[in-house]
Amino acid sequence: MRKPKLLLDENIGLRVYEELRGRGVTVQSIVLERRGVSDIEVVEIAKREDKIIVTMDKEFGYLCSLHKPPGIILLRLRDPKVPNRLKAILRTLEFGEKLYGYMIIVTETIIRRRPII
């Protein structure tokens, strides 16, 4: 079973990146490596490196249907403070390799999976 590799969009932040890394998650941050790149470039990086994009930007839902990244975790949190973002991502990671091929929409109470087609 392959372990998900994550690509954090700029809006997820470095504190979440550091927490995930500290927990052994394979994670890369756009803030550290490619700050300011376009959303399409983020998708292209994810495709090249087989990584799942984690974002709070709804625009990725549209890009998902056009550019078909390996997967997207879209956080739709009422209170997007760092602890809540981290908790939502960790809950979602329980799906493991089943994250690939899907857009995952995460709220405080619900996780929905939609195939990327």
**pLDDT tens digit string along 59-103?**
887 777 778 899 999 999 999 999 999 999 999 999 999 999 999
Contact by Cβ (8 Å): 116, 102: yes
Which residue, among 20, 77, 72, 80, has the nearest Cα to 42 in the 3D structure? 72
- The boundaries of the domain holding residue 35 are 5-115
- Bridge partners of 75, per DSSP, are 106
- List Cβ neighbours of 28 (8 Å cut-off, separation of 6 or more): 5, 6, 7, 8, 49, 51
Supply the pLDDT for residue 1.
66
**How many domains are there within the chain?**
1
Averaged over 27-55, what is the pLDDT? 94
pLDDT at 2 over 80: no
User: Helix 82-93 vs helix 14-22: angle between axes, to the nearest 10 degrees?
Assistant: 40
Between CA 64 and CA 92 the distance in angstroms is: 18
pLDDT at 25 over 90: yes
56 — pLDDT class (breaks 50, 70, 90): very high
Supply the pLDDT for residue 108.
94
